[in-house]
Copies of this chain bind each other. A is one copy, B any other.
């Protein structure tokens, strides 16, 4: 262990010393160690790659794909930039051996990259490290006055955690294969290595089973992946250094199974595909041998389809109601000394784990599965937090963190970025216990995502989570993160991700017009409500049949404009704003104040605008308040308490969610009012 620790420390030191220099580098995740050098490497049409050392088809494809990416980024035609003899190549790629046919947890992803004015060398133990290093190379390429260049640099890089994942729930809303592929491209770009595919839920069963065809025939609305498509995606992921871990959620979250196979359930059928969101009663019957017979055959089929060593059985959120009301199940519990539904679920998990193990796989499940009678090789995925993860680690279980990484909660990137798998309860683990914390996973639960807006929920925020899981623990500068995130976000456009490009078309649909300047001004400063508020305050219950075409579906999870405005206001109040920054605050406030009259006019032409008019009025009112506060500050005159009280009321109203949106510039205007009046805004009422 000591060796590893020393290397990590050295890595940290190097990063710290390089961090200031590296500010202008657009690397994300930040490498473990880097050293800027003098000079730069010009990337022109003569650029070439040579493969020395081990070579195989996967490595060839990796380099071809890298060249495609580099050509796209620089606008070079396919006739330029070739694979050539290593002796003549601009970039020499050298790896020692191939990756495993089935990528393994903890397989070596390290690489070293050396770029000088004369050329570049990328070395790695396996093709996996080459994949990671080539992404770093792409991120280094910049447009400069000398042409496209990569700065001279030395990088020694390796991941902090071996399990760095993204989960996508395709059960609640089906996400087609092409959308998954572009998201896998995005994952590879930020060095994530596990795609956790949540394949079944109450609202849909999404994988073809040859043994149990009614699972999709009756449980998918025709929206599922064939086994050929699954194999295609697995190969696609493998080529990008990404493992695919399938999840089939059981014994709860399984209504879609019961539509075709009601005999699996604990209550009488028939069942329908669930259209609503939430936790529902149907659960598998853990007391019937036919359940295990079915699962044995099903898991046998699926473990052959999915080559990864890990197999996720879900195991979360069983409300137990069907068990409580089924006399046969109650009798079984009494007969076997199972006192609680948790005991019954533990019994189920033990049985299922044996099946998974029999088929040669290692079981993964959510927090709830953890019971000391399960073997130590299982992996716990924690939505509960680091304490839960630490408790598991102390008991000898490996775990991955998803608490703090739920993308559907619409948190800002900075909040995800602050969540570290090794913090809180995990901070005091022994080195051996810490080894059991494998990493984490960003989770895209899909109640409110469609192929159109899913990318905007995943990206760019997931890049910040990817950095948390790859980079050294002390890489925590939020300003630097946002600066690089902005670059990465636009860089991901080259891969066909639609988080930026879908915004305009969605706004045009909402506006019913090509002129969306007014609507964009509004939408740029709002965010969808956070956590589970969207359900809580809904006036009409959302279902899987609800169109996702509202402003709340187009608005970004995090308003860059509001964040920028907040920075300006903070500087202004601190007396650190230059005249142009002061002017920008005023210009923004005037634009927001005047936006409402245009939006009101537009509102009469589109039903999708009606709901946002009250919040647009709030924006106008808040901006008016802000301008008045600015005038006080400019004049050096203290605003009256009465005025401040009035404005705080305006601001309190404006901070109430409307149309399931939050007005993100209100808190900064509140600061202006506070600064101009010397008054503190009353705490918001709960």
Contacts and interface: CB of A to CB of B under 8 A. Distances in A.
Nearest to A143: B512
A566 B260 CA distance: 65
A450 B76 CA distance: 9
A145 B610 CA distance: 8
B45 A77 contact: no
A425 interface: no
A173 B221 CA distance: 43
Interface in A251-271: none
Contacts of A173: 77
B607 A145 contact: yes
Nearest to A203: B79
A545 B80 contact: yes
Contacts of A506: 75
Given A490-B508, A509-B143, A512-B144, A78 B547 contact: no
Contact of A143 (B76, B501, B608): B608
Nearest to A142: B512
B546 A77 contact: yes
B143 A545 contact: no
Given A452-B72, A514-B487, A79 B606 contact: no
Contact of A450 (B77, B493, B494): B77
A610 B514 CA distance: 33
A360 interface: no
Contacts of A500: 504
Contacts of A147: 607
Nearest to A223: B78
A511 interface: yes
Contacts of A605: 143-145
A549 B606 contact: no
A544 B77 contact: yes
A76 B543 CA distance: 12
A648 interface: no
A456 to B, nearest CB: 13
A174 interface: yes
A626 B590 CA distance: 28
Interface in A602-636: 604-608, 610
Interface in A531-557: 544-549, 553
A74 interface: yes
Interface string A497-528: 00011001110111111100000000000000
Contacts of A452: 72, 75
A607 B143 contact: yes
A500 B143 CA distance: 22
Interface in A183-223: 221, 223
B450 A75 contact: yes
Nearest to A511: B143
A56 interface: no
Contact of A74 (B72, B79, B546, B549): B549
Most chain B CB within 10 A, of A145, A487, A544, is at A145
The size bracket of the interface on A is: 35 or more
Contact of A45 (B79, B223, B510, B545): B545
A545 B610 contact: no
A486 interface: yes
Nearest to A506: B75
A546 B606 CA distance: 47
A505 B514 contact: no
A73 interface: yes
A607 B607 CA distance: 47
Contacts of A73: 509
A148 to B, nearest CB: 8
A74 B610 contact: no
Contacts of A547: 45, 74-77, 80
A642 interface: no
Given A490-B508, A505-B493, A514-B490, A78 B174 contact: yes
Contacts of A606: 143-145
Interface in A28-80: 45, 72-80
A452 B78 CA distance: 12
B549 A76 contact: yes
Interface in A410-444: none
Contact of A75 (B75, B501, B545, B549): B549
A204 to B, nearest CB: 10
Contacts of A221: 78-79
Contact of A545 (B79, B144, B146, B509): B79
A77 B143 contact: no
A570 to B, nearest CB: 21
Residue among A510, A547, A548 having the largest count of chain B Cβ atoms under 10 Å: A547
Contacts of A604: 145
A72 to B, nearest CB: 7
A22 to B, nearest CB: 18
Contacts of A548: 75, 77
Interface string A141-166: 01111110000000000000000000
B505 A494 contact: yes
A510 B544 contact: no
Nearest to A549: B75
Max chain B C-beta neighbours (<10 A), residue from A79, A450, A508 = A79
A609 to B, nearest CB: 9
A631 to B, nearest CB: 25
A452 B512 CA distance: 28
A660 to B, nearest CB: 16
B511 A486 contact: no
Given A75-B553, A143-B607, A547-B75, A486 B514 contact: yes
Among A73, A546, A549, A553, the most chain B Cβ lie within 10 Å of the Cβ of A549
A431 to B, nearest CB: 42
Interface in A218-235: 221, 223
Given A76-B549, A145-B610, 7 more contacts: A77-B544, A80-B545, A80-B547, A143-B511, A145-B606, A145-B607, A147-B607
6 contacts: A74-B549, A78-B174, A142-B512, A143-B509, A144-B605, A493-B504
Interface of A: 45, 72-80, 142-147, 173-174, 221, 223, 450, 452, 486-487, 490, 493-494, 500-501, 504-506, 508-514, 544-549, 553, 604-608, 610
3 closest cross-chain pairs (CB), A and B: A75-B549, A143-B512, A143-B606
